[in-house]
Chain A
Amino acid sequence: MNPVYYLYLAALLFTIGAAGVLIRRNAIVVFMCIELMLNACNLAFVTFSRMHGNLDGQIIAFFTMVVAAAEVVVGLAIIVSIFRTRHTASVDDASLMKL
């Protein structure tokens, strides 16, 4: 089997995640979809690392994970504080910036 199939899988997961971001309204689920997209990218990086025979791809994936962790912490904190004040986790309800 050619490892390029991992890339196809990564593309598929990424697309599913993107569609999820567009479709779902629950902020937490949207966040999960973003995590899915990040993971798809990580898979691609790891596969590239294997293709090129060096570890740089894995390093990038590692940093992606760290950044994702930081992002999740802040993002969930934002969701919690929005939920506290507005009693909803729907992204459509946070549309006060429009004219």
Chain B
Amino acid sequence: MENLIALLVAAPLVGAALLLCGGKRLDRTGHWIGTLLAVASFAVGVALFADMLGRSADHRAMHQYLFSWIPVGGFRADVAFQLDQLSMTFVLLITGVGSLIHIYSIGYMEHDERRRRFFGYLNLFLAAMLLLVLADNYLLLYVGWEGVGLASYLLIGFWQHKPSAATAAKKAFLVNRVGDMGLSIAIMLMFTTFGTFAFGPVLAATGATSEGKLTAIGLMLLLAACGKSAQVPLQSWLGDAMEGPTPVSALIHAATMVTAGVYLITRSGAVFNAAPDAQLAVVVVGAVTLLYGAIVGCAKDDIKKALAGSTMSQIGYMVLAAGLGPIGYAFAIMHLVTHGFFKAGLFLGAGSVMHGMNDEVDMRKYGGLRKYMPVTFLTFGLGYLAIIGFPGLSGFFSKDKIIEAAFAKGGTEGWILGGAALLGAAVTAFYMTRVMLMTFFGEKRWDPKETHPHESPKIMTVPMIVLAVGSVFAGGLFSINESFVTWLEPVTSFAHGHSPVSATTVTASTIVVLLLGVGTAWLMYGRKPVPALAPRGSLLTRAARRDLLQDDFNDLVFVRGGTHLTTTLVQLDRSLVDGAVNGTAASMGGLSSLLRRLQTGFVRSYAVQMLGGAAVLVAATLLMRGV
């Protein structure tokens, strides 16, 4: 069975190569080829999953060695795959959601001239993402990490004729580079510390390594995760990334790629477990981001950007959980999977709405769409209920567990983290209800003459329905007998947290804050009509509309600061370095032009000099003799 692992990566990779190199001949069939290969990859994943389930928990991990990539002396970097429970979870999520989104895209991108290229990029993304989660060492993971970054760049800027899309792609790429630098530094540190990159030896050796080094590695890994998963302080690219086509937002910027940071932290759990300072940094980043994203999500009128804020916030939950250590890893991954379902569903729903509304994204120009798009409304509504944590749906189970684990962190930290997570849950309920009300309820705020809202074709609604089903049942399924936790335990290890508050209290308070959030939103957007033009709003609202001034901050500190720094350096270079060099040259030149006067070109002048020299020699000889 191991030999099939490479097929997971190979299928979409072949698809990408075919579609990107195939030329116009494949314009008609390209999307089918891409979809087929994505589904094939999913099928292989399912087969491997079935095989894995058939074995006992300790023998489930599989390994496939392909070839030695960089053999240098005693050092070896291999291209080898490792398929354990954690990877398996990701493989199923990536290929499953990926396949659904491929299918959806066939309808969504129907009128786009460059659909073949789009599917090529999607396949490229799948291959890179699978490489990322299947790699058995950090170096190969890095290849996948960069690959998804590239695919993300290409897909955000897919409509490159729009300057905003091109800029957004560039921004995403640049911000991601900061994180990637963290990962590369972390890999270098690992090499100097452990002499290898492979997961097994590195993670096994953490016990015997000094905490300082592990903290450094952990912080660098966290930086990498922040970049890829849009966590504070590298969060600024995700909102702009919504310039890409909606399926891309659903697949890459909601369900899979942005969760790579969570995967990295979970995979490197042993490093973080041994470095409490790094772990603390992780939880702080998670807690800050979950509130940050939620606040931004409250103020956005662009449906996709509101959802992007939500994504940021939900990933904040996952990072928070991953930072809690063994009591949180499993819940982080569980939330990741359920979030993959409902957030992909929500994005596809948003895409469906846009599809019916002439690509309008401003929610203030929606309203009352539930009658026109019943399927979209239904699936979006189920996703909505799942994300706010409505009891019985996926989000409820996963988010509740994270809040519980946050409290179980213990001490003041536990209270702060738990409080933040609860507050986040309330805000989540508020902004999601706002999105729901502004889009599907209330009166029409669009011009019926120009806009003719309609339900999307089956090829788009079917994936939405499948994802909605997942959003409803996944959480419950995972929680029966703690099946998901048991499944992941061999990889991530698991410990029951001892919460100062009982599980029932947490659940009850979650439901209370949920109702509070929904109620507030209904008071503000459901009871009274929504103005078609955004009101000025409070200071916080205005700041949140501008992503809490993150771009202004970056502009001020990094862009301006960088410009100043480089200008200063250039000045220094000109005045000091060049000055010294040119000064030396000039002084030599001046000295030479003085000395040059001795070189008249007249033999007799030289003869005078020679005779003078001879006279000096004779005089010196006489003096030495003591005359």
Contact = CB atoms under 8 A, between A and B. Distances in A.
* A and B touch in their complex, CB below 8 angstroms: yes
Interface of A: 18, 21-23, 25, 91-92, 94-99
B200 interface: no
Contacts of B611: 18, 22
A22 B607 contact: yes
Nearest to A24: B604
B602 interface: yes
Given A18-B611, A22-B611, A98 B601 contact: yes
B603 interface: yes
B601 A91 contact: no
9 contacts: A18-B611, A22-B604, A23-B604, A95-B600, A95-B601, A96-B601, A97-B601, A98-B602, A99-B599
B602 A95 contact: yes
B603 A91 contact: yes
B608 interface: yes
B592 to A, nearest CB: 10
B45 to A, nearest CB: 81
B596 interface: yes
A55 to B, nearest CB: 26
Q: Which 4 A-B pairs have the closest CB atoms?
A: A98-B601, A95-B601, A91-B603, A95-B602
A91 B604 contact: yes
A82 to B, nearest CB: 12
Contacts of B600: 95, 98
Interface string B599-621: 11111100110010000000000
Contact of A91 (B596, B599, B602, B608): B602
> Chain B, interface size: which category?
10 to 19
Contacts of B603: 91-92, 94-95
Nearest to A19: B611
B590 to A, nearest CB: 15
Interface string B253-265: 0000000000000
From DSSP, what is the main secondary structure of chain B's interface residues? helix
B34 to A, nearest CB: 74
A94 B606 CA distance: 13
Contact of B599 (A25, A94, A96, A98): A98
Nearest to B601: A98
Contacts of B602: 91-92, 95, 98
Given A22-B604, A91-B604, A95-B603, 14 more contacts: A21-B604, A22-B607, A22-B611, A91-B603, A92-B602, A92-B603, A92-B604, A94-B603, A95-B600, A95-B601, A96-B601, A97-B601, A98-B600, A98-B601
B22 to A, nearest CB: 68
Contacts of B601: 95-99
Contacts of B599: 98-99
A18 to B, nearest CB: 6
A19 B608 CA distance: 9
A19 B599 CA distance: 20
A96 B604 CA distance: 14
Contacts of A23: 604
Contacts of B607: 21-22
A99 B598 CA distance: 11
A97 B599 CA distance: 9
Contacts of A94: 603
A25 B608 CA distance: 13
A14 B608 CA distance: 15
Interface in B562-612: 596, 599-604, 607-608, 611
Specify which of B596, B599, B602, B611 lies most central, judged by the most chain A CB atoms within 10 Å of its CB.
B602
Nearest to A15: B611
Nearest to A97: B601
Interface string B353-383: 0000000000000000000000000000000
Nearest to A34: B607
A26 to B, nearest CB: 11
B596 A25 contact: no
Nearest to A91: B603
Contacts of A18: 611
B337 to A, nearest CB: 82
A21 B605 CA distance: 10
Nearest to A23: B604
Contacts of A21: 604, 607
Contacts of B608: 22
A96 B600 CA distance: 10
Contacts of A25: 604
Contacts of A97: 601
A86 to B, nearest CB: 14
B555 to A, nearest CB: 56
A96 to B, nearest CB: 7
A76 to B, nearest CB: 16
B83 to A, nearest CB: 78
B596 A99 contact: yes
A96 B603 CA distance: 11
A62 B568 CA distance: 75
A18 B608 CA distance: 9
Nearest to A93: B602
